Amino acid sequence: MTSHAVLRITCPDRKGLVAATASFLARHNLNIIDAQQHTDVDERTFFHRIKIDLEHLSMTRSDLEESLAKECDAHSMIWSISYSDVKQQVAIFVSKYEHCLADLLLRYRLGELDCEVPLVISNHEKLRPSVEMFDIPFHVLKITPENKIEQEKTALKLMDRANVSLIVMARYMQILSPIMLEKYESRIINIHHSTLPAFLGARPYHQAHNRGVKLAGATAHYATLDLDEGPIISQGVTACTHTDTVADLIRKGRDIERTTLANAVRAHLEGRIFVHGRKTIVF
Amino acid sequence: MTSHAVLRITCPDRKGLVAATASFLARHNLNIIDAQQHTDVDERTFFHRIKIDLEHLSMTRSDLEESLAKECDAHSMIWSISYSDVKQQVAIFVSKYEHCLADLLLRYRLGELDCEVPLVISNHEKLRPSVEMFDIPFHVLKITPENKIEQEKTALKLMDRANVSLIVMARYMQILSPIMLEKYESRIINIHHSTLPAFLGARPYHQAHNRGVKLAGATAHYATLDLDEGPIISQGVTACTHTDTVADLIRKGRDIERTTLANAVRAHLEGRIFVHGRKTIVF
Amino acid sequence: MTSHAVLRITCPDRKGLVAATASFLARHNLNIIDAQQHTDVDERTFFHRIKIDLEHLSMTRSDLEESLAKECDAHSMIWSISYSDVKQQVAIFVSKYEHCLADLLLRYRLGELDCEVPLVISNHEKLRPSVEMFDIPFHVLKITPENKIEQEKTALKLMDRANVSLIVMARYMQILSPIMLEKYESRIINIHHSTLPAFLGARPYHQAHNRGVKLAGATAHYATLDLDEGPIISQGVTACTHTDTVADLIRKGRDIERTTLANAVRAHLEGRIFVHGRKTIVF
Amino acid sequence: MTSHAVLRITCPDRKGLVAATASFLARHNLNIIDAQQHTDVDERTFFHRIKIDLEHLSMTRSDLEESLAKECDAHSMIWSISYSDVKQQVAIFVSKYEHCLADLLLRYRLGELDCEVPLVISNHEKLRPSVEMFDIPFHVLKITPENKIEQEKTALKLMDRANVSLIVMARYMQILSPIMLEKYESRIINIHHSTLPAFLGARPYHQAHNRGVKLAGATAHYATLDLDEGPIISQGVTACTHTDTVADLIRKGRDIERTTLANAVRAHLEGRIFVHGRKTIVF
């Protein structure tokens, strides 16, 4: 299989955008494998994701990018390109719950997630064996109110060194500081164990049990300063009944959490997500 | 098919309850067709629903009930019995949205809902033809802040005369007064177009669209004084994406609303629901 | 709201197709509202659906179509165009089961289905009132082995006169003849009450009950000469258990049948379906 | 938490069965925590599962069982009892696919499956590390047409020694011999990667892709001599579209397979499943 690229474009909507992009690619002998577009009619914004076959690319990638920059500038397009043979580096943050972590690492080993995982960061020792059995470095950065900023700086350094471009909070039980959130804006995926905006905050399964709901679920979203208010990427639910104790909800919820989180991570890695205000477009 | 009865029992939990009830039924030559039980462990409350074959009942129903009363008193059981050949009378309240109403009436005609619908009450003329085509009386009781109590009294009189035991609010866009809510406590089913407790209050599909959720849904619940806070009976969801406009959510939601509401109504008619504080047990 | 058009294109895959189409539209001052594309990699076939804003169209539609024909011929594209202000005419075929018919007619009245329904054809009298209450002509064409071909010819004449472009078999319990199937190829939607290819043939709910499945469902597909083998458009399922009798499966199935059928009909009317051999592409 | 027991009863249906059982338990000072019953009306067979609190049991378990045997004999009841503090021993059979195995072992570690896993048996070396990282013995029994019976005998010996009462075929790619099937009748759970009876036999995802289905799924069932025809325990599905390649179906299917299999295994371990001819009752 030859390598391909994903080109992502956002710009104010107007006529001729698809024609301009498609003509550019045709002129450069690049075949479109797959493409999705969306126009936010209210805000007149255009979103475009194009998967390109690089087989017949007859220039260097940097020449292509220079050419792209010129073309896109002419149309006020914000653009980015990624290549299938350049793996993204993903850092997983975890505390004591194993299910999301184990699920991601299994998918990673099965080849479902097109990335590399150069490190896992935790505020607890507990899950070291679950990580090291996959030969992935496990870093414990214990958090106290006093050392929080410092520990995050250490984390940032570790991630810089590993060239991390995506953070996955796999039930990481700490609130990230603005420094981290800003540096990795729209690149930190968190899993919340309720179908937001239901049951914001702490202990959502307990809240759900108290309210007597008949559906329990989970939400993967980008982390933002407003806790549990970030752009939603994916959601899942499972039926529940009066027989379900809080422990049952937690158990059932684990299945939803891990699937929902994995779907979000895969979509991000495939360049399918555009953040648009407090919402997402997921192609 | 011979007729059957549904016996419903609630009482403080303790040993021997099932034995007592089952022995009583065996002594009266009544076969158990189906039975469900649930114990709320925290509050030590026992819930029991028993579907009974009446084929070999050798006494009058009033004698049976007298005998039952004695037995149940001895065990501090709150009980009720209903008979399959005595149809419940259901009043449907509706405003201008037709889908839930039409769905219920179609199910009623198809024999899915074991009840009779002696009347539909509305605060608008609009849906008269949709009701009268089923040969069901349609009463318009327009509501203003001034006449609200009076109109509800008229509604109560109409329902008294028709021996109504269940009210279904099929997208009825009025808040019921405490008089109505008290008289029909745990016997008024409302459909809210969100998965409560998400998007309480007005225009939930607009709220859902603004929040960018990936699942939209509906909740059937018993109406209580606390709006949208009544015991939840059933919930449903459907997937949605960035391509869904508010109009799309409304359209998709209609399918969920009508199925969710119908499920709740059928469960109620079959005596499957016990209200327990702010929750339900749905056998 | 101004009117729009849907342009549908199929052709052998090669470079520059999107560029050609998008440039054509830009040259004609037509904005793309929405577009989807798919390439069947194995068979190197390209499928394209483009929703176009007609607001700034500065020529007649026939001139546009002439221009389109020239452009598409140059690229060996098979194309068609439909306009939002030209409603499709849909004939519904029905026998004795009401639920799919009633569901379609309700959605039609609610504006969910962008079409007109000039006639309903049945081989039984039974559902006349359910159709005529919507002021839609109801034609009974009773079928015997002897008169089948003749009756279908009558149906074809009725549909010709009404300019019908889509037939919906809403639980129509007759096998259509090759004449009808050929004339309306890829334009007859049938609903089968199982998740094909499970439970082909007669009485699928009985088959499902005998097999003890835990999911029951329905399949909407285009009708072809090979019964129950036509291209699948949409499928739905519902959970079932050991408590479900055949009658319960039939009841639960009705909800799935009508939703699944309606989804297929709406997708067809919106020009979202391409038939590709024995499969469909549903944008 | 004190220990509890699960009592399972099957017998010809007649009046007084629940009374007899409930009275027996009450006489022995045993509280019913939870109970389910089902009557197969056609075959007049009664199924009963009772979860019993053992806190106030004032005799030995063997005395209880002797007493139970007498009572049940008097009513022609087939019965069995299991105790929460006596873990079932589960053998997992696996070939080269890791996802179901890894999922079961993770759930086992998380405490979701109330059992012990004393050994994993495989016909390949490949998954040894995935098993041994959980400190579970991994036995490779390579299978050829010549040594098949002998290898199964070795497996049976290993399982005898470990007191195995349930075999889980976690994508084990071998057909078991009649000896094994007979010895572990209704105690071998297999996962098939389609919603049976659709796509029997080999390569169901390829079959599903060729047929162009819009739902793909999996079925957990007891293994029987008739391949893919054993009693179905649980089924799951996921939506798919024209964009899904066979590889995508395989990936999506993995999520369904592992959840469906885990649900079946948990239900079996909790004594919730009764096999009834070629069907199951799952309480």
Residue-level length of chain B: 283
Residue A211 distance to chain B (closest CA, Å): 7
User: What was the pLDDT predicted at A227?
Assistant: 87
Query: Which residues of D are annotated as catalytic?
Result: 228
Contact A47, A38 (CB under 8 A): yes
Distance from the Cα of residue A238 to its chain's centroid: 22
Contact A234, A267 (CB under 8 A): yes
**Token pair of D46, please?**
């009664």
**Distance in angstroms (rounded) separating the CA atoms of residues A275 and B8:** 52
Tens of pLDDT, residues A230-241: 999 999 999 999
Residue of D nearest to A252 (CA): D112
Minimum-distance CB partner of D212 among C214, C243, C279: C279
Chain A residues whose CB is inside 8 A of the B197 CB are 198-199, 211, 213
Chain B residues whose CB is inside 8 A of the C255 CB are 259
Buried b (16+ CB within 10 A) or exposed e, C2-36: eebbbbbbbbebebbbbbbbbbbbbebebbbbbbb
D37 and B32 within 8 Å at the Cβ level: the answer is yes
**Distance in angstroms (rounded) separating the CA atoms of residues A270 and C201:** 42
Chain A residues whose CB is inside 8 A of the B243 CB are 38
**Token pair of B135, please?**
């040969």
Residue C82 distance to chain A (closest CA, Å): 21
| Catalytic residue, candidates C228, C244, C248, C255 | C228
Contact A22, C15 (CB under 8 A): no
B26 and D15 within 8 Å at the Cβ level: the answer is yes
Is residue D211 classed exposed, middle or buried when 0-12, 13-18 and 19+ CB atoms within 10 A define those classes?
A: middle
What amino acid is encoded at C221 in this protein? H
Residue B107 distance to chain C (closest CA, Å): 8
Residue tagged 């579209």 (tokens): D241
Residue C194 distance to chain B (closest CA, Å): 19
Chain B residues whose CB is inside 8 A of the C103 CB are 106
> CB-hemisphere CA count at 13 Å for B202?
3
**Distance in angstroms (rounded) separating the CA atoms of residues B123 and B144:** 10
Tens of pLDDT, residues B204-221: 999 999 999 999 999 999
D98 and A109 within 8 Å at the Cβ level: the answer is yes
D16 and B30 within 8 Å at the Cβ level: the answer is no
Distance from the Cα of residue C226 to its chain's centroid: 17
C39 and A35 within 8 Å at the Cβ level: the answer is no
Please check the confidence at residue A53 and state whether its pLDDT lies above 90: yes
Question: In angstroms, how far apart are the furthest CA atoms of chain C?
Answer: 64
User: What was the pLDDT predicted at B93?
Assistant: 98
Best residue of D1, D25, D32, D214 to probe chain B, by most B CBs closer than 10 Å: D32
Please check the confidence at residue D171 and state whether its pLDDT lies above 80: yes
Please check the confidence at residue B1 and state whether its pLDDT lies above 70: no
Three-state SS string over C169-189 comes to: ECCCCCCCCHHHHHHCCCCEE
Percent of chain C scored above 70 by pLDDT? 100
Contact D140, D119 (CB under 8 A): no
User: What was the pLDDT predicted at B2?
Assistant: 74
Residue D53 distance to chain B (closest CA, Å): 10
Name the residue among C226, C222, C281, C216 with its Cα closest to residue C253.
C216
Read off the pLDDT of each residue in D1-8 and give the average, rounded to a whole number: 89
Best residue of A41, A209, A242, A243 to probe chain B, by most B CBs closer than 10 Å: A242
- In sequence order, what are the residues at sequence separation of 6 or more whose Cβ sits closer than 8 angstroms to the Cβ of residue B248? B240
Tens of pLDDT, residues D74-116: 999 999 999 999 999 999 999 999 999 999 999 999 999 999 9
User: What was the pLDDT predicted at C263?
Assistant: 98
B98 and C112 within 8 Å at the Cβ level: the answer is no
Mean pLDDT of chain A: 96
**Distance in angstroms (rounded) separating the CA atoms of residues C217 and C240:** 10
A26 and C35 within 8 Å at the Cβ level: the answer is no
| Catalytic residue, candidates A13, A40, A53, A228 | A228
A110 and D254 within 8 Å at the Cβ level: the answer is yes
> CB-hemisphere CA count at 13 Å for B25?
31
User: Which residues of B make CB contacts under 8 Å with C?
Assistant: 34, 98-99, 102-103, 106, 109-110, 112, 133, 243, 251, 254-255, 259
What amino acid is encoded at D150 in this protein? E
**Token pair of C9, please?**
């294109």
Please check the confidence at residue A1 and state whether its pLDDT lies above 70: no
Beta strands in C55-114 (DSSP E): 78-83, 88-94
Minimum-distance CB partner of D102 among A106, A112, A259: A106
Is residue B78 classed exposed, middle or buried when 0-12, 13-18 and 19+ CB atoms within 10 A define those classes?
A: exposed
Q: Return the ∠ at Cα D117 (arms to D116 and D118), rounded to 5°.
A: 105
Alpha helices in D117-273 (DSSP H): 128-132, 148-162, 178-183, 204-211, 246-269
Tens of pLDDT, residues C82-124: 999 999 999 999 999 999 999 999 999 999 999 999 999 999 9
User: What was the pLDDT predicted at A76?
Assistant: 94
Beta-bridge partners for B113 = none
User: What was the pLDDT predicted at D1?
Assistant: 59
**Token pair of C130, please?**
């359910």
Residue of D nearest to C47 (CA): D242
Touching C (3+ Cβ pairs <8 A), the chains are: A, B, D
C59-to-C7, C56, C65, C67, C82 alpha-carbon distances in Å: 17, 9, 10, 10, 16
C110 and B259 within 8 Å at the Cβ level: the answer is no
Q: Return the ∠ at Cα B161 (arms to B160 and B167), rounded to 5°.
A: 45
User: What was the pLDDT predicted at C2?
Assistant: 74
Chain A residues whose CB is inside 8 A of the D255 CB are 259
Chain B residues whose CB is inside 8 A of the C112 CB are 251, 254
Chain D residues whose CB is inside 8 A of the B38 CB are 34
Distance from the Cα of residue D213 to its chain's centroid: 28
Beta-bridge partners for C167 = C91, C188
D215 and C217 within 8 Å at the Cβ level: the answer is yes
Q: What are phi and psi of A210, to 5 degrees?
A: -65, -35
Contact B113, B104 (CB under 8 A): yes
Name the residue among B12, B18, B13, B15 with its Cα closest to residue B32.
B18
Chain D residues whose CB is inside 8 A of the B36 CB are 36
Tens of pLDDT, residues A247-265: 999 999 999 999 999 999 9
Residue of B nearest to D35 (CA): B37
Please check the confidence at residue A124 and state whether its pLDDT lies above 90: yes
Touching B (3+ Cβ pairs <8 A), the chains are: A, C, D
Sign, Cα dihedral of C174, C175, C178, C182:
positive
CB neighbourhood size of B174 (10 A): 15
**Token pair of C151, please?**
């009756």
> DSSP string of A185-252?
TT-EEEEESS-TTTT-SS-HHHHHHHHT-SEEEEEEEE--SSTT-SPEEEEEEEE--TT--HHHHHHH
User: What was the pLDDT predicted at A2?
Assistant: 74
Tens of pLDDT, residues B121-146: 999 999 999 999 999 999 999 999 99
Q: How many CB pairs under 8 A join C and D?
A: 79
**Distance in angstroms (rounded) separating the CA atoms of residues A183 and A282:** 22
**Distance in angstroms (rounded) separating the CA atoms of residues D139 and B153:** 77
Please check the confidence at residue C234 and state whether its pLDDT lies above 90: yes
User: What was the pLDDT predicted at C227?
Assistant: 87
Q: How many CB pairs under 8 A join A and C?
A: 47
Please check the confidence at residue B251 and state whether its pLDDT lies above 90: yes
User: What was the pLDDT predicted at C1?
Assistant: 59
Which pTM value belongs to this model?
Answer: 0.96
Q: What are phi and psi of A51, to 5 degrees?
A: -95, 125
Read off the pLDDT of each residue in A144-165 and give the average, rounded to a whole number: 97
The 8-class DSSP code of residue B87 comes to: P
B213 and A235 within 8 Å at the Cβ level: the answer is yes
Please check the confidence at residue C213 and state whether its pLDDT lies above 80: yes
Tens of pLDDT, residues C94-105: 999 999 999 999
User: What was the pLDDT predicted at B227?
Assistant: 87
Contact B149, B119 (CB under 8 A): no
